[in-house]
A and B are shown apart, each in its own frame.
Chain A
């Protein structure tokens, strides 16, 4: 066993670092999904589309900035701008025009409405950005790489993946925890999540809270996409992949858990990247195997609270 670890320390190290960057992206998408579910009680299938559109918008903006001769650092402005733009435009649009009409209805219908949105947004992406791969990796290139020593070997790793992605994820986690616990708006969101009726009885404007939360969640998904865009080439279908992975994270963590979602993202991110290096056939399967295994033992998710029906 020890010998195996020693022999494979290089690969394990790579998997660990890769997994960290990957987990950071997954977390940002999953935590938005979780937040939206907490307040709206809707699992938003179109959340993955917001990730994809965020990624495409960031790439387009970045390419546009570059073509105007702006310095490479402007690529970062493109990432942030894309996330804000997608969140602020699509978030309210979807919540006001569509979701608002289905609150309080059967879960099946809510799920399907967001599935319909997903189908529509998938084609919107194809119409706007085409089906050819798009890549814009300037923000990653501009930071260069750092040599990570593994025993005798030295592996160059991009600073972007090694520091920026995990850094942003930690910042999002800390910021979100602070926002939800220390600010009035955050506490209102938590109150609505915990007990909507009671919160409304206390005079909380639930319509405003849902709009705000959904916009915020959409922004987080778009931010995840924007940050992912420099690391990969964008093709149709990335939204569909992302959303199922986020589902896996949210279900494994338990609904309504922020820190839990972070830890689970880490677990699933690392699990997947270990698979990439050691059993690539099972790369895509690993997150679901982790999820199924967790739910077998803890039906309410790793960090979820078991609810008993009142009789």
Chain B
């Protein structure tokens, strides 16, 4: 189409981020997070949720590398969250609940993945959406077990057998989320540099060639999909443990849309993008909701629109560009 903004190309593959070190910005980011959490105590909660969502968005990022967008990844987040809510009355140990939730989400990811990796583009996105809506409906309708839209309160948790006071617990959750964010960030970085990770972009550009190299594109995508489900489940467990309340809304398709939104907002060029995006998203949401209760979604939507139209590299893309120019 003539006159369209074709010049806005996405940074992917050989992204600018790779020519710029990510280590220093990452360390600065961690320091800033801890500082803000310490200086503004009530933001600790917001930042913990942001870190958790960032982990889920890392998974979205992997699929974006393959040119695929899932409008249903909230199902893995919800799986992790509801696992915590269901099991917490019987097993209060957070350090056991977390891996259990991640494991169940991973298994679901494997089952769903085996089905959806056969599809591409719109079909991939819509199938994910459909399956997440099935989970949403079950969570909403099976009131006997899930309390429907009221949701479930997560009982009080223990950490390594201890039951810390509230303030300490908040710090523990913040620290746990931060630690996992760093670990998964490093994992994703290594994965994206590996043959498997580099082949992901091959699904986007030349899937036929992958097959003619003797590589199963489906297997390449499945690995990324399962990894993304693992991170989604981990994120969900963190969200449930932090907010202490789970509702079916976690699995609704708009929640999945939010994850994709955050990925684009932060920038798909770097493993730091999801966390930048998630922090920006949650902060805008908190402040917009406080300022204009009925229009925070509108503000987020407008931000998303502006980012896509005018800053296609996302926040990370803008920062990286600025740092490179000043260097």
Contacts and interface: CB of A to CB of B under 8 A. Distances in A.
Instruction: Report whether chain A binds chain B.
Output: yes
Contacts of B131: 288, 292
A73 interface: no
A120 B126 contact: no
A55 to B, nearest CB: 19
A201 interface: no
Interface residues of A, number: 54
B16 interface: no
Interface stretch (B96-104, B157-165, B269-277, B302-310): B302-310
Contacts of B138: 285
A123 interface: yes
A94 to B, nearest CB: 11
A16 B173 CA distance: 52
B168 interface: no
B137 A284 contact: yes
B208 A309 contact: yes
Contact of B123 (A100, A104, A109, A295): A295
Contacts of A37: 122
Contacts of A202: none
A198 interface: no
Contacts of B305: 98, 113, 116-117, 120
B129 A108 contact: no
Contact of A119 (B71, B119, B130, B304): B304
B261 A120 contact: no
Contacts of B67: 106-108
B28 interface: no
A251 B297 contact: no
Interface stretch (A80-88, A158-166, A240-248): A240-248
A26 B66 CA distance: 32
A236 to B, nearest CB: 10
A108 B127 contact: no
Nearest to A251: B126
Interface stretch (B2-10, B179-187, B228-236, B317-325): B2-10
Nearest to A311: B208
A248 B131 CA distance: 11
A203 to B, nearest CB: 13
Pairs of residues from A and B, 5 with the lowest C-beta to C-beta distance, nearest first:
A119-B301, A123-B298, A103-B1, A120-B301, A116-B304
Given A100-B1, A284-B141, A291-B127, 6 more contacts: A111-B125, A119-B300, A240-B253, A244-B253, A285-B141, A291-B130
19 contacts: A100-B4, A105-B8, A106-B67, A107-B122, A109-B10, A112-B257, A116-B304, A116-B308, A120-B302, A122-B298, A123-B294, A126-B295, A240-B254, A247-B126, A284-B141, A285-B134, A288-B133, A292-B115, A292-B130
